[in-house]
Structure 1
Amino acid sequence: MDAISFVLLLVISFLSAIMGTMVGMAMVIMVPVMVFLGIPVHNAVATGRFSMIGIGVGNIRTFSKREKMKPGYILPLAISGIIGTLAGTSFLKYLSENALENIIGVFIIGISIIVLFEEKLRPKEKRQGITYKHHALSVIAGLFIGSYIGIVGGGAATIIIFVLVLVYGLSFHQAVANQKAVSLPITIIATLVFIYQGLVNYKIGIPLLIVNILGGYVGAILIMKFKPVWLKLILVPISIVLALKLIFF
């Protein structure tokens, strides 16, 4: 990768970290961009996931000070997510580049549509009382989310936010804050598997991780001050175009 492309990737990663914190679409943007800049798709998924640790670190420091973490809600989702991601990451290497690009493209379009209409999908009334049924739903969702993170990853933060809102009845800001405590351990485990498989490009991944820490910190501050509705209107069309390019070109 030439110097101009590398600098461009860092800038896009920083902006994606900010936007990903606010609407959960960092990997949706980063993986296609990395592929278009010449990084093989398997390495793009693995290196992108490695760099997502930076967003989690940048987010969780800020959110933990402002929003109360809820271990009782986090643990079932995180533990089942870790189990799921072990399965997903193990399966990734068996997919051909073409198949993986098509899968990523299809899921990006699906996630983009969900993000666009998420306001209408949220419950209008606050959930009263949490039972074992809610935890069971969380575990099932965690297995799916973990597997998804291991194979594709883009938009997983959005799905986690939905689970926390729909299953446990958290507010949007509470769900965003607690999502980081769920996704960070899953991301770390997925990254360790990718490292073991030799898929992480450290020359690209380490600089991306550093700028993502900064972007995640900035995004965590901004989301407490602004509603990210306008970001969706920008990101969703861009994401769909990137996805279509992955599938058809």
Structure 2
Amino acid sequence: MPPPPLALSPALPSELLTYVLTHQIYPTTLLICQPRNVFLTSLLSSIPQPIQRQPPPPETHLPDPEDEDPPPRHPLLIPTLHQIATSRSVNVVFIPTVSHLRAYLSVFPPPTENASPPEPKLDKPGKEVPLLVVYGLVDLHRDTSEWSAQGFGNSVASLVEAGRRGDRKIVVIEEKKEEDSSYVVEGEEVERKPGWKVWDERVPMLNGNIRRAGFESEESAWSGRTIEIGRIYARWFRFGRGDWDLEE
């Protein structure tokens, strides 16, 4: 029996890949709910690129190269043997629509993932299980007819069933946005935490609800009852902070 599904705080694409490479156990599957070009663009923007130095003008005194420290490189840009080996055992699938997601989950796991693990096997010993990581599940439903508690419930139920069928630990992570920073009070201290605004968004209960114009608040813009996305997820998931938040 796999562990209960886990919903982590939103992450940048680079933080997502670092998490998967760190925690993956063969066979791990990463579902990216974005077109491939959109994700790669976001990934490049989230990784600091080394600055290329311009050649000095003629007759300029050149500093000793040993006196200058090279700029630090992002860990994803360093091709270590462990990173190369683990990346080859992660199955990455790009999911453009809700229909594609449900179709993929209905036949999960694919037959190719039932094969023997690659050699040499670098998995960590212990009780860890393979992962089924989904990135951007909320945004995949946004601005579609499935933007409702009914639509989310159908997708999440399919995801949980696929994880149980494939004996995978399910982890869902949303993409971190600039506005994903808020102040929360813990005791007498105010701490700046990124990430949880997405779970406070409200959606209508049923598919096909009409959104009424002329209202400022999200809740009153929908006809009928609404519910927070976090409450929908809480039926199946427990919530936690990602490694990227713990390091801050």
Shorter-chain TM range is: under 0.3
Greater RCO (CA < 8 Å, at least 6 residues apart): 1
More helix by share: 1
More strand by share: 2
Q: Given the two structures, how large is their TM-score scaled by the length of structure 2?
A: 0.26
Q: Which of the two has higher C-alpha Rg?
A: 2
